[in-house]
């Protein structure tokens, strides 16, 4: 599994590539959506290729995702 360090982000597509399947970005997104331990497994650090946040927990918690990334000092 790939580790995304504190204060950094990775795109769904790049994470799919790191997992060995560059065409699996939607599967990465689906896995992030099902993450029950989001602060331990920091899925908030996974963003869209164009730099948009994506839909954190189905879009219901995008403000939390934005706050977490700002808190970490991530450049988005």
Residues that are catalytic = 43
Alpha carbon 29 to its chain centroid, in Å, reads 8
- Sorted by sequence, the CB contacts under 8 Å of residue 15 that are 6+ apart come out as 2, 4, 25, 28, 46
């Amino acid at each position: 599994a790939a580790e995304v360090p504190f204060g950094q982000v990775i795109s769904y597509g790049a994470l799919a590539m790191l997992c060995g399947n560059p065409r699996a970005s939607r599967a990465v997104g689906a896995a992030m959506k099902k993450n029950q331990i989001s602060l331990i497994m920091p899925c908030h650090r996974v963003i869209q290729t164009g730099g948009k946040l994506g839909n954190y927990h189905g879009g219901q918690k995008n403000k939390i995702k934005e706050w977490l990334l700002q808190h970490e000092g991530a450049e988005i």
